[in-house]
Amino acid sequence: MINILYVHRITEKRLTTKPPISAFKRLCGDDFAKRGDDSAKRGDDSAKREGDSANQGDVIFVTTHWDCVSIQYGQAQEQHLQDYLQSMLGFPVRMERFDKTTQAAQDIISQII
């Protein structure tokens, strides 16, 4: 299984480069973001437990530098980024925040191991 973390600074007003969607699809399968979104909605890791070829991997969009912005600004930026990525991909994206805490790092990493 291949898992990808795509990291973006929340301080950036927009993506400086488009995420390599074709590479994500090639590495993780055409429905890479749908699987993560479905299991997140269920509140479990059933997609990872299935272990079949449909679950080749996941892509998680991680935002960083939350300590450099107000929470209101960060949330607005996060929503803008999520809306943009969702419109580009055509389905909901999986987003996580990294706030420089050990717990945040463990929570993100635990989703891909």
Burial of 8 (0-12, 13-18, 19+ CB in 10 A): buried
The domain containing residue 45 runs over which residues? 2-110
pLDDT attached to residue 104: 95
State the pLDDT at residue 54.
Answer: 42
pLDDT at 77: 93
Are the beta carbons of 27 and 112 closer than 8 angstroms?
no
Residue 76 has what pLDDT? 94
Residue pair 63/9 in contact (Cβ under 8 Å)? The answer is: yes
Q: In what order do the strands lie in the sheet with 57-64?
A: 2-9, 57-64, 95-97
Q: What is the C-alpha separation between 58 and 18, in angstroms, rounded? A: 18
For 6: left if phi > 0, alpha if psi spans -120 to 50, otherwise beta; the answer is beta
Predicted pLDDT at 13: 79
SS3 35: helix
Give me 45's structure tokens: 């890791």
For residue 22, the model assigns a pLDDT of 73
In order along its 113 residues, the chain shows pLDDT tens digits of 667 788 899 998 777 666 777 777 777 666 665 554 444 443 444 344 334 334 445 778 999 999 999 999 999 999 998 888 888 777 677 899 999 999 999 999 998 87
- Give the CA radius of gyration of the chain: 14
* Full-model pTM: 0.68
> What is the domain count for the chain?
1
